[in-house]
């Protein structure tokens, strides 16, 4: 994605070597006919608040949310004003995407003091050139000083959003300073971790302390950065000489930063301390959790998992969105029909309901949202999980502890003595757990659990394969719902196109479904980082276990027969659910086909 927009025409009366101020901005807007005289008079003469003293003039003007008379009353916000000023100055506009900035390179171009004094920031560094963004496009007295240090490299000047400049200038230099400080503290040697290619080093070896203030600052930056980028997972991956940091955003991993090996080991150690893990144990995988706050003050939970690898400990942190439990089923992606079927199933007082799908398909979100709605003062909701995904005060949550032989089956047996109304079992993995879930359902409890199968009908054959008799399945299972998460198109840039008939028929086969005249395709913009997608939503396949389906299960355990009967009963496969979202312009044919399984058993 090209971060620059084409340069516009230069201003007709461009000032030279001067800082723009609020009066200048308002005068230019007034002369162009964008704002009335009254707004010019008021804003040009109103003194700034104390907190606004360090603001850029564009930020001050944007605060008033003025209506642009030349654009039909649209608000003069920072994005437009930045583009407008870039055009006035004749500079290309650069959009700062922190995931694409190489922090270790841009912070070595100039000192923080020089960058702050002149309102500039290096944003791209190559062997032949350096691109520097500025927020005062008419004051360029810093260029000669910088060219002298760049020597043979070409200096390219661009304009960037002043708000982004202020934020990332602080973030980039603070991170760089923390890494440099940690490197000086810990030395250049490899950290004392299990490394299958460990080099023998004679003499002193510097071991970086996990409590070092620089390491603490790096960990704080990683967490806040991940929250601001809407990441669902943070991957810290050791390599031979460096450690890679990656974020999973909307289901796709993005490279974020590379840390020296010693610092990566110290960062992992710091996170293990915060997650109450055994810092000294580096040979075994460990699980933990920690709770922190984002920049808005909302509590966020993270689940930690470590794994010994060839070059040290790899850590993955799953970030749980605090708003998950208050989302409506419509926001989760349920269609009206799916929601009605799901509500009918969960209103039952006893029986088993399964949610099925691979890891990362949103099963936990669906279960927690459902339990949150079912959890009232009149019922006792108990869960047994491995591990507890999110702590919710309205549930009684128990965690599996294999080290003391407390598994799912033992946990369910204990929960049955706790007078529960609703039981949630994290996952049914074996016959013992399945038998306890059936026992709980037969004794008058509503049980919700998960299975790892490709679709809803496969769950029935999975239970039979585990050893659960067919008569118990038909007596206890109320229904099954399979689900996947698909990326949704960015609403700011998606574009309507004519539907590809071949692709549509491939998506819905072997079924027949009316093809929409238009569908949407991804384009890419600043809001979605050029991917064309922003956010994810669920697609669902609901299968109530009805009388006709029970008779098929009793006769045989043939998956094809079960699937055909489910379709006769009105089950919409995952791909059809996805096709409905394609027809509504929410996603693309390619995305649905990438995520959902094909019904090849029916061919």
pLDDT averaged per 10 residues, the chain (length 603): 44 60 93 92 86 88 91 90 93 89 90 92 93 92 90 92 91 86 59 41 44 81 88 92 91 88 89 89 88 81 91 92 73 90 93 93 89 91 85 86 81 90 92 93 95 92 93 95 95 93 90 91 86 92 94 86 91 93 94 86 58
Q: Is the dihedral of CA 395, 400, 406, 407 positive or negative?
A: positive
The CA-atom distances, in angstroms, between 86 and each of 11, 34, 50, 352, 394 are 10, 17, 28, 61, 53
Rounded to the nearest 10°, the torsion over CA 344, 345, 349, 354 is -170
Question: Would you state the pLDDT for residue 133?
Answer: 95
Q: How many domains does one find in the chain? A: 3
User: Which regions of 56-95 does DSSP assign to beta strands (E)?
Assistant: 67-68, 74-75, 93-94
The full length of the chain comes to: 603
pLDDT value at residue 292: 85
d(CA 410, CA 448): 17
What phi, psi does 27 have (nearest 5°)? Answer: -65, -40
Confirm whether 463 is domain-assigned.
Answer: yes
Give, as one character, the DSSP assignment of residue 63: H
What integer pLDDT is reported at residue 602 of this predicted model? Answer: 61
CATH of the domain at 471: 3.40.50.300
Q: Which of 88, 77, 67 is CA-nearest to residue 162?
A: 77
127 part of a folded domain: no
The greatest distance separating any two alpha carbons of the chain, rounded to the nearest whole angstrom, comes to 87
Give domain status of residue 394, yes or no: yes
**C-alpha atoms less than 13 angstroms from C-alpha of 14 in its C-beta half-sphere:** 17
Tell whether 473 is covered by a domain. yes
Nearest to 348 by CA among 81, 602, 190, 545: 545
DSSP-assigned letter for residue 15: -
Give the separation between CA 481 and CA 502, rounded to whole angstroms.
29
Does 159 map to a domain?
no
Residue whose C-alpha is closest to residue 567's, from 591, 550, 549, 540: 549
Long-range CB pairs of 581-586 (<8 Å, 24+ gap) are: 581/333, 581/486, 581/537, 581/539, 582/507, 582/516, 582/519, 583/516, 583/519, 585/489, 585/494, 585/496, 585/518, 585/519, 585/520, 586/488, 586/489, 586/520, 586/537
Give the Cα separation of 379 and 381 in Å (integer). Answer: 6
Q: Are residues 237 and 342 both part of a single domain?
A: no
305 and 332, same domain (yes or no): no
Indicate whether 499 and 399 sit together in one domain.
yes
Predicted local confidence at residue 3, as pLDDT: 54
Same domain, 502 and 581: yes
Cross-strand bridge partners of residue 315: 236, 306
Same domain as 290, residue 387:
no
| pLDDT at residue 206, as a whole number | 43
Query: Which residue in 129, 164, 170 sits closest to 146, CA to CA?
Result: 129
> What are residue 397's phi and psi, to 5 degrees?
-105, 135
pLDDT for 292-344, tens place per residue? 888 777 788 888 999 999 999 999 999 987 666 667 788 888 989 999 999 99
Whether 408 and 528 share a structural domain: yes
Q: Give the residue from 310, 317, 315, 316 showing the smallest Cα distance to 239.
A: 310
Q: Whose CA is closest to 114, among 138, 85, 92, 143?
A: 143
Which of 310, 317, 318, 316 minimizes the C-alpha distance to 238? 310
Residue 153 lies in a domain: no
In terms of domains, do 307 and 394 share one? no
In a domain, 170, yes or no: no
Choosing from 74, 91, 108, the residue where a domain stops is 91
Residue-number span of the structural domain to which 44 is assigned: 4-91
Tell whether 313 is covered by a domain: yes
H/E segment holding residue 382: strand 381-385
Given a contact cutoff of 8 angstroms between Cβ atoms, the answer to whether 165 and 135 are in contact is: yes
């Amino acid at each position: 994605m090209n971060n620059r927009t084409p340069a516009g025409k230069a201003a007709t009366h461009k000032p030279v070597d001067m800082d723009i101020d609020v009066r200048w901005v308002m005068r230019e807007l007034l002369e162009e006919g964008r704002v009335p005289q009254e707004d010019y008079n008021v804003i040009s003469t109103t003194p700034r608040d104390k907190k606004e003293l360090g603001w850029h003039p564009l930020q001050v003007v944007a605060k008033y949310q003025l209506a642009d008379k030349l654009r039909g009353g649209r608000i003069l916000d920072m994005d437009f004003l930045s583009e407008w000023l870039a055009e006035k100055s004749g500079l290309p506009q650069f959009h700062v995407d922190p995931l694409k900035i190489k922090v270790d390179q841009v912070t070595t171009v100039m000192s923080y003091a020089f960058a702050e004094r002149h309102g500039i920031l290096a944003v791209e560094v190559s062997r032949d050139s350096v691109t520097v963004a500025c927020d005062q496009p008419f004051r360029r007295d810093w260029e000669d000083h910088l060219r002298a240090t760049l020597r043979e490299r070409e200096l390219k000047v661009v304009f960037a959003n002043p708000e982004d400049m202020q934020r990332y200038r602080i973030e980039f230099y603070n991170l760089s300073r923390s890494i440099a400080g940690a490197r000086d503290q810990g030395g250049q040697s490899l950290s004392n971790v299990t490394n299958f290619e460990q080099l023998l080093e004679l003499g002193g070896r510097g071991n970086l302390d996990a409590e070092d203030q620089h390491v603490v600052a790096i960990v704080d930056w990683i967490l806040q950065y991940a929250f601001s980028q809407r990441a669902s997972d943070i991957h810290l991956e050791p390599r031979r000489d460096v450690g890679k940091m990656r974020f999973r955003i909307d289901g796709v991993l993005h490279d974020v930063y590379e840390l020296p090996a010693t610092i990566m080991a110290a960062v992992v150690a710091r996170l293990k301390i915060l997650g109450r893990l055994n810092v000294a144990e580096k040979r075994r995988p460990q699980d933990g959790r920690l709770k922190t706050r984002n920049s808005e003050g909302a509590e966020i939970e993270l689940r930690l998992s470590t794994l010994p690898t060839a070059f040290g400990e790899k850590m993955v942190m799953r970030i749980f969105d605090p708003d998950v439990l208050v989302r409506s089923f419509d926001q989760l992606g349920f269609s009206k029909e799916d929601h009605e079927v799901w509500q009918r199933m969960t209103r039952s007082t006893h029986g088993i309901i399964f949610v099925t799908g691979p890891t990362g398909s949103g099963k936990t979100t669906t279960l927690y949202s459902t339990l949150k709605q079912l959890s009232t003062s009149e019922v006792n909701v108990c869960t047994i999980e491995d591990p507890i995904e999110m702590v919710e005060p309205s549930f009684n949550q128990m965690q599996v502890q294999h080290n003391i032989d407390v598994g799912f089956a033992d946990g369910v047996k204990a929960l049955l003595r706790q007078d529960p109304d609703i039981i949630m079992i994290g996952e049914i993995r074996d016959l013992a757990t399945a038998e306890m879930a059936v026992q709980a359902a037969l004794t008058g409890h509503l049980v919700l659990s998960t299975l790892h199968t490709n679709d809803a009908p496969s769950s029935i054959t999975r239970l039979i394969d585990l050893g659960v008799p067919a008569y118990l399945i038909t007596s206890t299972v109320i229904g099954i719902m399979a689900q996947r998460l698909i990326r949704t198109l960015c609403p700011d840039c998606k574009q309507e196109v004519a539907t590809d008939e071949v692709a549509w028929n491939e998506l819905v086969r072997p079924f027949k479904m009316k093809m929409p005249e238009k569908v949407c395709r991804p384009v890419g913009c600043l809001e979605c980082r050029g991917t064309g997608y922003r956010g994810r939503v669920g697609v669902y396949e609901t299968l109530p276990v009805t009388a006709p389906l029970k008779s098929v299960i009793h006769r045989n355990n043939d998956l094809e027969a079960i699937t055909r009967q489910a379709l006769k009963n009105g089950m919409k496969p995952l791909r059809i659910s996805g096709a409905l979202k394609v027809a509504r312009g929410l996603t693309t044919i390619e995305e649905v086909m990438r995520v959902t399984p094909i019904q090849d058993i029916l061919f």
